[in-house]
Each structure stands twice: as structure tokens, then as C-alpha cells.
A and B are shown apart, each in its own frame.
Chain A
Amino acid sequence: MGGSPGGPIDKDQHEVEDWERLADAINSALGGRGLQTTDELRRSIESLEDYRNLSYYERWAAATEKLLIEKGVLSGDEIDERAAEIRRRWEGP
């Protein structure tokens, strides 16, 4: 990335969303418990196919998910299922 061509720097600041705060906090909490290291998170982020298309916290969320699945803490299926339930709840009756 360093030294690659780049355009003007966009100085807009998006308002941090609650889910982004949560992504941040989950990573810190997992780190605090010794369940995940910064280096593992970085490696996981770098390995994301969608790296260029995801926002900063989307990369964190995707990378954390990947690590939790890799370590057998959670399964992809249960995350999918629960995420779908949550979305249904948000979308309302």
C-alpha cells in the first residue's frame, strides 16, 4: 500500500455507528482474554478477499468472524442464523 498512487485525501468523517463501537470492543475484549492477538487480527484482515471493498470496521468485523470460526469458538452457520434473526427483528413486523 505504501507508495502506491492515491487520490486526494477525503477529510469527511462518518459518525461512528454503534455496531462499529461493538466491533472495536469485541476485539479488545477477546484480546484481553488472550483469545485473539493484534497480529492474528491483522493477518486475518489482510487475508480478506473483499479487503478493498470493505470499510475499516467492516474489515474488523469480517476478520474477527473469520478468526472465531478458525479457532472453533463459533461456527459460520450459527452466526448466519443469528444474524438473519437479528435482521428480521430490525426490519420489524
Chain B
Amino acid sequence: MSDHHLHEETGGTTSPYAARIRAIEALLLEKGVLTEPEVQDNISYMEARSPANGARLVARAWVDPDFKELLLSDGKAAASELGMDPEHPAEFIVVENTPELHNLIVCTLCSCYPRAILGRPPDWYKSFAYRSRAVREPRAVMREFGFEPPEGVEVIVHDSTADARYMVLPMRPPGTENLSEDELAELVTRDSLVGVNVPRL
């Protein structure tokens, strides 16, 4: 078992489901349905994933046109090339923002998200408010995040209804010509990978 104090043990949770999932874990381990290393590996797998992966994919695409082409045609292959080991999504599809169009990602049915690349989605992405409103009033939603597409830009919403998981490739902000790839990656926020905002210098 983990050697730090679990939130539940120090009274840090009020959810009745905490004890139930611990019970389920204990029972599954006792019955040999799962093994402890397996559970730990799965915890570690998710902990190792974060929006920084998405930022690296974007920064590389900004500096390397061949990589960008790969990212847009075969997202999983591009992620693998950068060592991200994207086991799970059936498809990982990256959609490109252009001067003519801006993309926004949502999963109205259940909050699907490219977790194998970006880790856990933020709470707001999973909220009923986002899931309801993103498809119907994407511009109002983006405004709440402080972003208004320029005049004439079309907004395209992707509802991830099947097994493909989507991520946005934002446009490279102006004035960033002299930044290194690592510096570019730092500009890429998680919110810009979902499409509720854009990277800024």
C-alpha cells in the first residue's frame, strides 16, 4: 500500500464512495482479480500524464512542419514519437486552428478527453454546464474563459461521441519567432488544447 497518508485516512474526504472503492480494491486483490502492482501501475500511468504533453506536441508542430503534418494525420504516432506512450484511445485526433477557424472540444455524453496524452480533464470540462452549453453557445462559453475569436473566424465544435479523442492545435502566437521550443511549450495552456482559449505571449 502507498506509504503516504491517504486523504481518506486523515478525514480529508466526505464521499461515501471512498470507502466503497477501497473495499472493492481490497476484495479484487484478495480474490486475485487484480494485482497490487497492476493497480499501482495504472495510478502511475495517469499521474505521468499532463497537459505538458500536449504543449510539447504543439510546440514541436510549430517548429517542425513535418511533425505538424504527422500530428494532424496520425496523432498517436506523433505522440509516440515524443515518447508519450498513448496506449488507450482508439483514435487521437488533433484539429488545427487557422486564421479562418477556431476549434472547441467537448464530450456532451460523458466528458471523454484525451487522458492518455493530457491526463485528467479539469473539473469544468466535466461539468454539466460545460457539457450542455459548449455545443449550443460555444462563443459565450469561450467568452467566460476570456477569449473572443476575431471577426470573421468560424467556430467549430467537436462533440467526441465515439472513441476518438480530440485535442486542438492552436495557432502560434505572433511575436514568438525567437522563442525556443521549450519556451513555446510554456505558452501552451491546457485551456488552449481544449479550445476555450488561445496561447498568448
Report A-B touching, CB under 8 Å: yes
**Residues A9 and B7 in contact, CB atoms below 8 Å apart:** no
Could you say which of B63-71, B73-81, B94-102, B127-135 contacts chain A?
B127-135
Q: Which residues of A contact B42 (CB under 8 A)?
A: 24-26, 28-29, 32
Cβ contact of B129, chosen from A7, A24, A28, A83, cutoff 8 A: A7
Could you say which of B20-28, B50-58, B169-177, B180-188 contacts chain A?
B20-28
Chain B: minimal CB distance from A30 (Å):
7
Query: How many cross-chain pairs have Cβ atoms below 8 Å apart between A and B?
Result: 168
**Residues B133 and A6 in contact, CB atoms below 8 Å apart:** yes
Q: Which residue of A lies closest to B126 (CB)?
A: A56
Q: Which residues of A contact B163 (CB under 8 A)?
A: 38
A6–B133 alpha-carbon span in the complex (Å): 6
A7–B46 alpha-carbon span in the complex (Å): 30
A16–B135 alpha-carbon span in the complex (Å): 27
Q: Which residues of A contact B134 (CB under 8 A)?
A: 2
Interface size class of A (residues with CB under 8 A): 35 or more
B47, CB-defined interface residue at 8 Å: yes
Cβ contact of B19, chosen from A14, A16, A30, A83, cutoff 8 A: A83
Interface size in chain B (residues, C-beta < 8 A) = 58
Known: A10-B123, A17-B7, A42-B110. Contact between A29 and B128, CB under 8 A? no
Q: Which residue of A lies closest to B87 (CB)?
A: A32
B48, CB-defined interface residue at 8 Å: no
A82–B40 alpha-carbon span in the complex (Å): 21
Q: Which residues of A contact B106 (CB under 8 A)?
A: 2
Cβ contact of A10, chosen from B2, B31, B124, cutoff 8 A: B124
Would you give 10 A-B contacts (Cβ < 8 Å), ordered by A?
A2-B108, A3-B108, A3-B132, A14-B123, A18-B7, A32-B38, A35-B33, A58-B15, A58-B17, A84-B19
Chain A contacts to B: CB under 8 angstroms: 1-14, 16-19, 21-26, 28-30, 32-33, 35, 38, 42, 45, 52, 54-58, 61-62, 64-65, 68, 73-74, 78-79, 82-87, 90
**Which 5 A/B pairs are nearest by Cβ-Cβ distance?**
A2-B108, A82-B23, A25-B42, A6-B132, A19-B18
